[in-house]
């Protein structure tokens, strides 16, 4: 009897499951533009087919861009990655991105972050990067004073000292004419700087021999996130996950030792306390309880990651774009000479910046600012992924006035596409044009809505370190731009005419033999680590 009942129920169960799957695949998000989906695979197969159309290691943003092109570039695109991941909604319109990042009655600190558990071995479980609600508010309030504009210039000596070590490395490369990827050198430089800013510790990342243990372990750990399976669940990549766990544990132990030692120093100091991330973490604590030790260690790891990763990538693209754009290189050099003097000697520039005029001098370089802004527009190294819990009824409105419910999806504000929207940036959207950011209130830049440039994201969860990054990048450019010429080798190498001269294209940039593309390494990085040759600039020789 029972067997008969079960047999009778089977078709009903089958019909129920089919209807459920059909609804999820073809009905639930049908209002959002998307490529054809399949009942079994959703968009997994078609996504894979698009990946295969180009270099497999190109960043998913490039693959999404090609998919969007097929759909006629709508402001939203639905990509159903179930069962491998949650379904995703890609946002390419700045107006919709703004609806996600701004506070609302439904989400007072903006739409919650997507799950970052896969990064727990790097940033810990209580990180400011992944925290939500009151825990996040408490952390942000605690660290904000460390990033107040008046305070940031106190870091100038540390930035300058560490940049001089970087210059030593570049001098060696220039003397030997060796090629090297710039990114690892810039990673070491920015890691050294954030070590001082966050913890008041010299991490010795730039030592050629006997590099600091922490950066060695950090690099090894980050290299466990290099492929497209970076955020798969642990049971899909158990060996990688075990390696991440072991390295993460060793890093955590070192950081905890630093926290213990610094806590003792902190208690002994009676005068003005520093505003490093570490000192701010100790404020109002009576003892170094296991909980304080745990959260402090997590925040330090988070700042070490966020404070070096995107800044170094941005600098590598600045070197590249300046190399390709002779008018921009000339304008930046003229500006630096005017503000800091014609001597490319780094010690002279250092003294000029240190004699109390740092802020003034840096602010006198609007073209350099425009170069940085344009580099971040063309090559945004990060983005934000959010998620709206099931049943929360998060609805966004598209420019055509239609509403879409995004519950249960990962919402990805895709800066690389928002920043190249021709509706905002016109027919030069794909060209490097720092000039677009210069000029008075009637100029083109004033017509770009603030929300259409968002490399640091916007709203309450925007980047706490953005002003610091800006100062750091400006100082580093000031120290190296007169001294060296950077020459790309391999991908992105300049094309030459019969006389061996580079050729200008219509956008007034030098033509390249092949384009260098970005890849995914937690954030977005140039695929070859920005391989370059460094030469002393003519003015230096
Ligand atoms: C060019 C350099 C940088 C870029 C493009 C950048 C970009 C971003 C972006 C897009 C976010 C939002 C991430 C998300 O929503 O998941 C973010 C958050 C954050 N960034 Fe940056 N960042 C840069 C430099 C820095 C630096 C130098 C620091 C530290 C000194 C820093 C610390 C942080 C922190 C702690 C957060 C989390 C803020 C919060 O949720 O309250 N960043 N950054």
Q: Which atom, in ligand 1's list, is nearest to the CA of 147?
A: 30
Task: Determine whether 133 is exposed, middle or buried from the number of CB atoms within 10 Å of its CB (0-12, 13-18, 19+).
Answer: exposed
Rounded Cα gap, residues 394 and 387, in angstroms: 10
Structure confidence by residue, pLDDT tens digits, 53-84: 999 999 999 999 999 999 999 999 999 998 88
Cβ(314) – ligand 1 distance below 6 Å: yes
Smallest CA separation from ligand 1 atom 9, residue:
456
Mutate which of 465, 474, 475 for ligand 1 pocket (most atoms within 8 A of beta carbon)? 465
Q: Which atom, in ligand 1's list, is nearest to the CA of 382?
A: 10
Beta bridge pairs of residue 77: 90
The three-class DSSP label of residue 64 is helix
The three-class DSSP label of residue 449 is coil
pLDDT of residue 268: 85
How sure is the predictor about 104, in pLDDT bands with cuts at 50, 70 and 90? Answer: very high
Residue 98 CA, distance from chain mean position: 18
Quick check: 493 and 33 in contact, CB under 8 A? no
Whether pLDDT at 511 is above 80: yes
Pairing state of beta strands 88-91 and 410-413? Answer: parallel
Cβ(311) – ligand 1 distance below 6 Å: yes
**How far is CA 418 from each of CA 43, 365, 401, 478, rounded to the nearest angstrom?**
22, 27, 19, 30
Structure confidence by residue, pLDDT tens digits, 308-365: 999 999 999 999 999 999 999 999 999 999 988 888 899 988 888 888 666 677 778 9
Interval between CA 296 and ligand 1 midpoint (Å): 18
Q: How many CA atoms lie within 13 A of 446 on its CB side?
A: 5
Which tokens go with 457? 């994201």
Quick check: 314 and 518 in contact, CB under 8 A? no
Smallest CA separation from ligand 1 atom 19, residue:
463
Smallest CA separation from ligand 1 atom 37, residue:
129
- pTM of the entire structure? 0.95
Cβ(369) – ligand 1 distance below 6 Å: no
Beta bridge pairs of residue 378: none
Distance from first CA to last CA of the chain, Å, rounded? 96
Structure confidence by residue, pLDDT tens digits, 454-493: 999 999 999 999 999 999 999 999 999 999 999 999 999 9
pLDDT of residue 541: 40
Whether pLDDT at 230 is above 80: no
ipTM, two decimals, is 0.99
Mutate which of 131, 193, 463 for ligand 1 pocket (most atoms within 8 A of beta carbon)? 463
Structure confidence by residue, pLDDT tens digits, 243-268: 999 999 999 999 999 999 999 988 88
Mutate which of 306, 317, 385 for ligand 1 pocket (most atoms within 8 A of beta carbon)? 306
Q: Is 224 known as a binding-site position? A: no
String of DSSP letters for 274-342: --SHHHHHHTT-SS--HHHHHHHHHHHHHHHHHHHHHHHHHHHHHHHHHHH-HHHHHHHHHHHHHHH-S
Quick check: 215 and 507 in contact, CB under 8 A? no
Helix (H) or strand (E) holding 210: none
Structure confidence by residue, pLDDT tens digits, 13-48: 999 988 998 999 999 999 999 999 999 999 999 999
Cβ(140) – ligand 1 distance below 6 Å: yes
Pairing state of beta strands 410-413 and 484-488? Answer: unpaired
pLDDT of residue 251: 98
Q: To which residue do tokens 């390696």 refer? A: 243
Which tokens go with 496? 């030459």
- List of long-range contacts for 335-340, beta carbons under 8 Å, 24+ apart: 335/364, 335/365, 335/366, 335/367, 335/368, 336/365, 336/368, 336/477, 336/478, 336/481, 336/482, 337/482, 338/364, 339/364, 339/365, 339/478, 340/478
CA max distance for the chain = 96
Residue 202 CA, distance from chain mean position: 24
């Amino acid at each position: 009897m029972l067997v008969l009942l079960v047999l009778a129920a089977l078709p009903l169960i089958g019909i129920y499951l089919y209807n459920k799957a059909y609804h999820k695949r073809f009905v639930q998000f049908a209002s959002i533009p998307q490529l054809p989906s399949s009942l079994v695979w959703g968009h997994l197969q078609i996504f894979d087919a698009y990946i295969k159309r180009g270099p497999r290691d190109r960043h998913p943003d490039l693959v999404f861009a090609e998919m969007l092109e097929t759909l006629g570039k709508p402001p939203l695109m639905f990509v159903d990655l179930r069962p491998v991941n949650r379904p995703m909604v890609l946002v390419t319109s700045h107006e919709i991105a703004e609806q996600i990042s701004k506070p609302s009655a439904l989400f007072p600190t903006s739409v919650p972050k997507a799950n970052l558990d896969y990064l727990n071995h790097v940033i810990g479980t209580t990180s400011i990067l992944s925290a939500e609600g009151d825990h996040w508010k408490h952390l942000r309030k605690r660290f904000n004073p460390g990033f107040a504009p008046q305070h940031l210039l106190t870091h100038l000596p540390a930035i300058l000292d560490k940049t001089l070590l970087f210059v030593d490395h570049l001098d060696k490369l220039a003397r030997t004419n060796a090629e090297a990827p710039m990114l690892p050198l810039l990673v070491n430089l920015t890691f050294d700087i954030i070590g001082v800013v966050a913890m008041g510790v010299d991490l010795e990342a730039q030592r050629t021999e006997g590099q600091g243990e922490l950066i060695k372990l950090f690099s090894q750990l980050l290299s466990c996130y290099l492929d497209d399976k970076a955020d798969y669940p642990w049971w899909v990549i158990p060996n990688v996950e075990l390696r991440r766990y072991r390295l993460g544990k060793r890093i955590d132990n070192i950081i905890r030792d630093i926290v213990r030692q610094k806590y003792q120093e902190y208690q002994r100091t009676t005068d003005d306390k520093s505003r490093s991330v570490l000192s701010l973490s100790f404020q109002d604590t009576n003892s170094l309880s296991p909980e304080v030790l745990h959260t402090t260690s997590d925040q330090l790891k988070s700042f070490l990651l966020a404070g070096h990763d995107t800044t170094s990538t941005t600098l590598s693209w600045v070197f590249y774009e300046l190399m390709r754009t002779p008018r921009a290189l000339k304008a930046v050099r003229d500006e630096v000479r005017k503000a800091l003097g014609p001597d490319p000697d780094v010690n002279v520039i250092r003294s000029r910046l240190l004699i109390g005029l740092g802020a003034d001098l840096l602010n006198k370089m609007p073209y350099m600012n425009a170069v940085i802004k344009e580099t971040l527009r063309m090559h945004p190294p990060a983005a934000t992924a959010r998620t709206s819990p099931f049943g929360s009824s998060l609805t966004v409105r598209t420019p055509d006035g239609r509403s879409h419910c995004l519950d249960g999806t990962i919402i990805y504000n895709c800066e690389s596409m928002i920043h190249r929207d021709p509706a905002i940036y016109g027919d030069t959207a794909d060209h490097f044009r720092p000039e677009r950011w210069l000029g008075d209130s009637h100029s083109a830049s004033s017509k770009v809505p603030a929300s259409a440039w968002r490399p640091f994201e916007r709203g309450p969860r925007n980047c706490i370190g953005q002003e610091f990054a800006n100062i750091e990048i400006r100082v580093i450019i000031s120290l190296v731009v007169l001294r060296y010429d950077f020459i790309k080798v391999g991908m992105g190498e300049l094309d030459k005419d019969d006389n061996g001269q580079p050729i200008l294209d219509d956008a007034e940039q030098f033509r390249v033999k092949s384009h260098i593309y970005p890849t995914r390494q937690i954030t977005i990085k140039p695929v070859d680590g920005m391989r370059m040759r460094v030469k002393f600039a003519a003015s230096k020789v």
